[in-house]
Amino acid sequence: MKNIQFFCDFDGTITKEDTLNKFLRVYAKDLWLEVEEKWLRGDIGSKQCIEEQMQMFPYMKESTLSDFIDSIEIDETFPDFLDYIRSQEIDFCIVSDGFDYFIERILAKNNIKDVKIFSNKLKLKEGKFETFFPYFSHECERKSGVCKCNVINSNRIVTKRVLYAGDGMSDYCASRLADVLFAKGSLLEYCKNTKSDRENGFALVGFLSFEEIINYIKDF
């Protein structure tokens, strides 16, 4: 058993594209882009952003959600990565500022079971969405729906090194808590360009697939 634990983002990291953004593009009114811009500028946190966006949908059928979920692809090497993690008895969990409704069904579609998930919660009731934020923190710098820093700090095992994989803005703060950070997308660019984060001393590893992460971990 390796002396590490692994926290992992979901959208754009395990999936090939951001699930919620694709859902909004396909089914929401164009006003969601105005709310997105406020979030990107830092005027609002992600919790307020997705709360507002999820109210913009017309009547939604569960069958429509199922069809959408069938369109989402994951990194083909993720199942093998998860098998390897489990074979090494490495503690693994998903930490996402997305919704459990999507995450659980996407994993199930790919025959992936028994994964610990920290995320926002979504319910469909009479054709409308209800959102819940069990991991929100008023102290969160970015006012995210899920305070990933709190989740990591509350669940980290002090005797183990923390490995983290992510790709975007919701991972910026959490990345500072990692001993080894696997990054792609805007997270990788952010870490390359932010001197203060580099000085924190974590190992920064760019990646494109989970196969690369497996090979890295094998050398521990």
Average pLDDT over residues 42-63: 93
Nearest of 56, 55, 36 to residue 44 by alpha carbon: 36
Instruction: Give me the residue label for tokens 């994951």.
Output: 74
pLDDT tens column, 163-216:
999 999 999 999 999 999 999 999 999 988 875 444 556 789 999 999 999 999
Per-residue confidence (pLDDT) for residue 168, from 0 to 100? 94
Per-residue confidence (pLDDT) for residue 126, from 0 to 100? 93
Per-position DSSP letters for 60-85, written without gaps between them: --HHHHHHHHHT--B-TTHHHHHHHH
Per-residue confidence (pLDDT) for residue 197, from 0 to 100? 47
Percent of the chain, pLDDT > 90?
Answer: 85
Per-residue confidence (pLDDT) for residue 201, from 0 to 100? 60
Q: What residue type is 23 in one-letter code?
A: F
Topology given in CATH for the domain delimited by 4-218: Rossmann fold (3.40.50)
Domain boundaries, the chain: 4-218
pTM: 0.94
